[in-house]
Amino acid sequence: MNSFGKIFRVSIFGESHGNELGIVIDGCPPGIYFTEEDLYLDLTRRKSGIKGTTSRQESDEPKIISGIYEGYTTGAPIAIIFENNNTNSSDYSLFREVPRPGHADFVAMKKWKNFNDHRGGGHFSGRLTLGLVSAGVLAKKIITPMKVAARLLEAGGNSDIKNAIDEAVVENDSIGGIVKCVTTSMPIGLGEPFFDSIESLLSHIVFSVPAIKGIEFGSGFKAAKMTGYEHNDKYISVDGITKTNNSGGVNGGISNGNDLVYRVAIKPTSSIPKRQHTMNMQTSQIVDLDIKGRHDLCVALRIPPIIESVTAIVLADLKMIYQSYKE
């Protein structure tokens, strides 16, 4: 359940307040230069520290423990781990009785019969995305010359994002956002009809990222209001390049050579500083809830490098699968 991919395959493990968390990457070709230094840029982009993100400060120091020899991938699985240092688990014990609205506290207890590690959200923590970002750095190398770039389009409905954050701080409340991801230099032919369509695989892994509520490719939800004549992208070259890109770069589940474009909706963090009401599940009383942990007011700020990473992971796998067809 914690693995994804067919050839280039990732498996994640860990908890927010455990000793270490990490990822295992299987199926990576040998001979790719890959060291801890490669990871710093994207890990920093993912990191908290700017206004609107959690005050929990973690060094996020990656440790590659297998699969690399003298700086290069060997062909064997690559394991990368991160220590959890700045943990404060006392903040969380309450939530076993009084689950946070909008959070996984309640379902984790029910599904796992109270054996779940509830500290810091346990296995449901956004910290698990550290591994995804690490695998993404490697995947980005594999998919060259394809290039993935994601950015935050708006936060709290506001495209002036700095402004939106300032407001959220004043309101003591969290806000959502929209991230757009564009991959350029796409080859034709990645993806499969039906179950392994590009959209299927991308949406699968995108919804693995905590807080995502929606995804749309190309024209997306606007397509529902368009006519075929408007929506059809006209070919302007024998390479399949089209005048418009309502397709988002995908026809019939397969890349068509145009930019791969999609957008995702991110919900506002459920852990908010503002006082709210919830139910004490032991007593069935409605009680006040003041969340004291350290949380993001706008987790969407940290999502772009994660979205890039999961995109690269899917494309690396699809590229390798496509190569398997060619002699």
Residues 225-264 that bind a second copy (CB under 8 A): 225-238, 240, 242, 246-248, 251-256
How many whole angstroms separate alpha carbon 314 and alpha carbon 304? Answer: 16
Instruction: Name which position in 45, 207, 245, 259 contacts a second copy (CB under 8 A).
Output: 207
Q: What is the DSSP string of 153-164?
A: EEETTBS-HHHH
Instruction: Name which position in 39, 43, 78, 301 contacts a second copy (CB under 8 A).
Output: 78
C-alpha angle 150/195/198, rounded to 5°?
Answer: 20
Report the nearest approach of a second copy to the CB of residue 234 (Å).
6
Asked if residue 87 binds a second copy (CB under 8 A), the reply is no
How many whole angstroms separate alpha carbon 202 and alpha carbon 115? Answer: 32
Report the nearest approach of a second copy to the CB of residue 63 (Å).
8
How many whole angstroms separate alpha carbon 156 and alpha carbon 266? Answer: 10
Instruction: Name which position in 212, 301, 306, 307 contacts a second copy (CB under 8 A).
Output: 212
Q: Which is nearer to a second copy, 20 or 50 (CB)?
A: 20
Element (DSSP H or E) covering residue 26: strand 20-26
The residues in 23-42 that bind a second copy, with binding defined as CB under 8 A, are 24, 26-27, 29-31
How many whole angstroms separate alpha carbon 46 and alpha carbon 209? Answer: 13
Asked if residue 16 binds a second copy (CB under 8 A), the reply is no
How many whole angstroms separate alpha carbon 202 and alpha carbon 207? Answer: 9
Stretch that binds a second copy, among 39-47, 53-61, 133-141, 174-182 (CB under 8 A): 174-182
As to burial, measured by CB atoms within 10 angstroms (0-12 exposed, 13-18 middle, 19+ buried), residue 327 is exposed
Asked if residue 270 binds a second copy (CB under 8 A), the reply is yes
The count of chain residues that interact with a second copy, using the rule CB under 8 A, is: 149
Report the nearest approach of a second copy to the CB of residue 271 (Å).
8
Q: What is the DSSP letter of 91?
A: G
Q: Which residues pair with 154 in a beta bridge?
A: 178
How many whole angstroms separate alpha carbon 19 and alpha carbon 64? Answer: 16
Q: Which is nearer to a second copy, 50 or 286 (CB)?
A: 286
Asked if residue 53 binds a second copy (CB under 8 A), the reply is no
The residues in 142-161 that bind a second copy, with binding defined as CB under 8 A, are 154, 156-157
Q: Which is nearer to a second copy, 44 or 144 (CB)?
A: 144
The residues in 181-200 that bind a second copy, with binding defined as CB under 8 A, are 188-189, 192-197, 199-200
How many whole angstroms separate alpha carbon 85 and alpha carbon 56? Answer: 10
How many whole angstroms separate alpha carbon 269 and alpha carbon 174? Answer: 6
Q: Which is nearer to a second copy, 41 or 195 (CB)?
A: 195
Q: Which is nearer to a second copy, 87 or 276 (CB)?
A: 276
